[in-house]
């Protein structure tokens, strides 16, 4: 494999005195967290250096909070560090120049691993593995850990397994042969009790408020469902509600949005293969916000103003050639 030779060469050039920062996209999800955790193990083993995992935004979902806590993932917040202090910057589950991360435009990347479609942004990088065929960043990172014979602790295996599981919906979505091979390969090392706790966390009362908002505001037309969770305590709630509502009988396309602080977050989900939601999400925020995603799951953010929300919704309806007036409340 060409990549592993290049990676080995890159790592031999790094010494224990180098300071490495591993960045993820904002509000990191389990796949980003696990990928970063895996790279940290790689740098520790191969270069005898402790890389810092740095996040921006918040760790929103209760599952993700528990993942960080129970699997001992050491995190630093972007506001508490200075990127100038690091000799090398890495980025996982995103690419420099994408709108969902704070990778500085004036710095080259040491290493970038991602599986999201490119947004056409050019960047300087010494080692890039951009593999759209992979269902998760965790898949790619695990394959490197195995090739380099980096020991994978039970906590790290659990993180990587959970990263693949969430990004591929348990191998049901955007999954290839490598995802399956790595997923089953990690399984014997996974800590079942910790994984179960992460998958079934206690939920705060606000979660149920947002669930109520989503159900009461939910409107349906044919196989579309659009819902507004209103104010939310967690920017991941629209995504969580969209996943949940997509399971409704007859529903195949879901849009959920909600406001966290001064930003409107939205998520789109579909069970259909024929739509590319990532492109749709980018179109919906053109000129007003940021977005990205995959074929069947995507999302974005816009500054919360009535005008912006109307524009975003109009573009969604227009894309599918439907009219808001055709929709009816789920409960009326
Ligand atoms: Mn991912």
How far is ligand 1, taken at its centre, from the CA of residue 16, in Å? 29
pLDDT at 99: 84
We report the CATH number of the domain holding residue 282 as 3.10.310.30
85-89 mean pLDDT: 98
How far is ligand 1, taken at its centre, from the CA of residue 330, in Å? 32
User: Reduced to 3 states, what is the DSSP secondary structure of residue 116?
Assistant: coil
192: buried, middle or exposed (CB in 10 Å: 19+, 13-18, 0-12)? exposed
Task: Tell whether the model's pLDDT for residue 186 goes beyond 90.
Answer: yes
d(CA 277, CA 296): 6
**Confidence band of 124 (pLDDT split at 50, 70, 90):** very high
Phi-psi region of 289 (alpha: psi -120 to 50; beta: other; left: phi over 0): beta
How far is ligand 1, taken at its centre, from the CA of residue 150, in Å? 21
pLDDT at 118: 86
Q: Are 55 and 74 in contact (CB under 8 A)?
A: no
**pLDDT tens-place string over residues 52-66:** 999 999 998 999 999
Mark whether 168 and 293 lie in a shared domain.
no
Any domain includes 332: no
Mark whether 185 and 242 lie in a shared domain.
no
pLDDT at 136: 97
Task: Tell whether the model's pLDDT for residue 210 goes beyond 90.
Answer: yes
**pLDDT tens-place string over residues 100-120:** 899 999 999 999 999 998 878
**pLDDT tens-place string over residues 267-279:** 999 999 899 999 9
61-87 mean pLDDT: 97
d(CA 60, CA 238): 11
How far is ligand 1, taken at its centre, from the CA of residue 202, in Å? 24
Mark whether 93 and 170 lie in a shared domain.
yes
Mark whether 39 and 167 lie in a shared domain.
yes
pLDDT at 157: 98
How far is ligand 1, taken at its centre, from the CA of residue 64, in Å? 14
How far is ligand 1, taken at its centre, from the CA of residue 98, in Å? 14
126-152 mean pLDDT: 97
How far is ligand 1, taken at its centre, from the CA of residue 295, in Å? 13
Last residue of a domain, one of 158, 175, 199: 199
Any domain includes 31: yes
Any domain includes 63: yes
How far is ligand 1, taken at its centre, from the CA of residue 227, in Å? 25
Write out the DSSP string of 223-264: TEEEEEEEE-SSTTHHHHHHHHHTTSTT--EEEEEEEETTEE
Any domain includes 34: yes
Phi-psi region of 125 (alpha: psi -120 to 50; beta: other; left: phi over 0): beta
Mark whether 210 and 191 lie in a shared domain.
no
How far is ligand 1, taken at its centre, from the CA of residue 212, in Å? 29
Any domain includes 331: no
Last residue of a domain, one of 146, 175, 199: 199
pLDDT at 78: 98
Mark whether 193 and 270 lie in a shared domain.
no
- The DSSP bridge partners found for residue 270 are 253
257-275 mean pLDDT: 95
Any domain includes 272: yes
pLDDT at 151: 98
How far is ligand 1, taken at its centre, from the CA of residue 332, in Å? 38
Q: Are 254 and 268 in contact (CB under 8 A)?
A: yes
For the chain, the domain total comes to 2
How far is ligand 1, taken at its centre, from the CA of residue 270, in Å? 17
51: buried, middle or exposed (CB in 10 Å: 19+, 13-18, 0-12)? buried
How far is ligand 1, taken at its centre, from the CA of residue 328, in Å? 34
Task: Tell whether the model's pLDDT for residue 97 goes beyond 80.
Answer: yes
Mark whether 92 and 177 lie in a shared domain.
yes
Last residue of a domain, one of 199, 228, 251: 199
- The DSSP bridge partners found for residue 152 are none
Mark whether 83 and 192 lie in a shared domain.
yes
Which among 103, 70, 69 is positioned nearest to 86, based on CA atoms?
103
How far is ligand 1, taken at its centre, from the CA of residue 113, in Å? 10
Mark whether 264 and 232 lie in a shared domain.
yes
d(CA 8, CA 326): 58
Angle CA 281–291–144, to nearest 5: 110
How far is ligand 1, taken at its centre, from the CA of residue 127, in Å? 18
Any domain includes 139: yes
Predicted TM-score of the model (pTM): 0.86
293-298 mean pLDDT: 88
Which among 25, 45, 37 is positioned nearest to 163, based on CA atoms?
37
How far is ligand 1, taken at its centre, from the CA of residue 31, in Å? 5
Mark whether 79 and 107 lie in a shared domain.
yes
**pLDDT tens-place string over residues 211-245:** 999 999 999 999 999 999 999 999 999 999 999 99
**Confidence band of 121 (pLDDT split at 50, 70, 90):** confident
d(CA 37, CA 26): 16
Mark whether 185 and 210 lie in a shared domain.
no
Mark whether 219 and 244 lie in a shared domain.
yes
Domain membership of residue 39 as a residue range:
2-199
Alpha helices in the chain (DSSP H): 2-12, 30-47, 62-70, 137-147, 154-167, 177-186, 192-199, 205-217, 237-245, 277-284, 306-319
Q: Are 330 and 219 in contact (CB under 8 A)?
A: yes
Task: Tell whether the model's pLDDT for residue 294 goes beyond 90.
Answer: no
How far is ligand 1, taken at its centre, from the CA of residue 162, in Å? 11
70-93 mean pLDDT: 98
pLDDT at 131: 96
Mean pLDDT of the chain: 96
Any domain includes 175: yes
pLDDT at 232: 96
Q: Which two tokens stand for residue 318?
A: 């227009």
pLDDT at 143: 98
């Amino acid at each position: 494999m060409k990549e592993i030779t290049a990676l080995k060469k890159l790592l031999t050039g790094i010494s224990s005195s180098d300071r490495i920062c591993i960045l993820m996209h904002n509000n990191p999800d389990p796949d980003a967290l696990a990928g970063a955790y895996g790279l940290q193990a790689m740098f520790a083993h191969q270069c005898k250096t402790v890389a810092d995992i740095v996040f921006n935004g918040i760790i929103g979902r209760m599952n993700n909070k528990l993942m960080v806590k129970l699997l001992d993932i050491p995190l630093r917040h972007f506001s508490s560090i200075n990127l100038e202090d690091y000799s090398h910057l890495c980025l996982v589950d995103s690419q420099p120049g994408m709108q969902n991360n704070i990778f500085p435009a004036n710095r080259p990347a040491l290493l970038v691993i991602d599986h999201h479609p490119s947004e056409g942004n050019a960047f300087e990088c010494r080692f890039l593995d951009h593999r759209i065929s992979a269902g998760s960043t965790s898949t790619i990172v695990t394959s490197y850990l195995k090739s380099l014979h980096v020991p994978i602790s039970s906590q790290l295996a659990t993180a990587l397994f959970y990263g693949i599981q969430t990004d591929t919906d348990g191998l049901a979505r955007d999954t290839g042969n490598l995802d399956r091979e790595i997923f089953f390969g990690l399984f014997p090392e996974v800590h079942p009790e910790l994984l179960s706790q992460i998958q079934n966390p206690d939920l705060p009362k606000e979660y149920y408020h947002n669930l109520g908002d989503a159900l009461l505001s939910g409107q349906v037309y044919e196989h579309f469902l659009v819902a507004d969770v209103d104010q939310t305590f967690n920017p991941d709630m629209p995504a969580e509600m969209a996943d949940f509502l997509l399971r409704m009988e007859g529903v195949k396309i879901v849009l959920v949005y909600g406001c966290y602080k001064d930003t409107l977050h939205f998520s789109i989900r579909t069970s259909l293969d024929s739509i590319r939601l990532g492109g749709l999400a980018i179109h919906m925020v053109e000129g007003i916000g940021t977005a990205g995603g995959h074929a069947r799951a995507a999302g974005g953010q816009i500054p919360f103003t009535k005008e912006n929300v109307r524009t975003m919704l109009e573009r969604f309806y227009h894309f599918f050639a439907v009219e808001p007036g055709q929709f009816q409340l789920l409960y009326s």
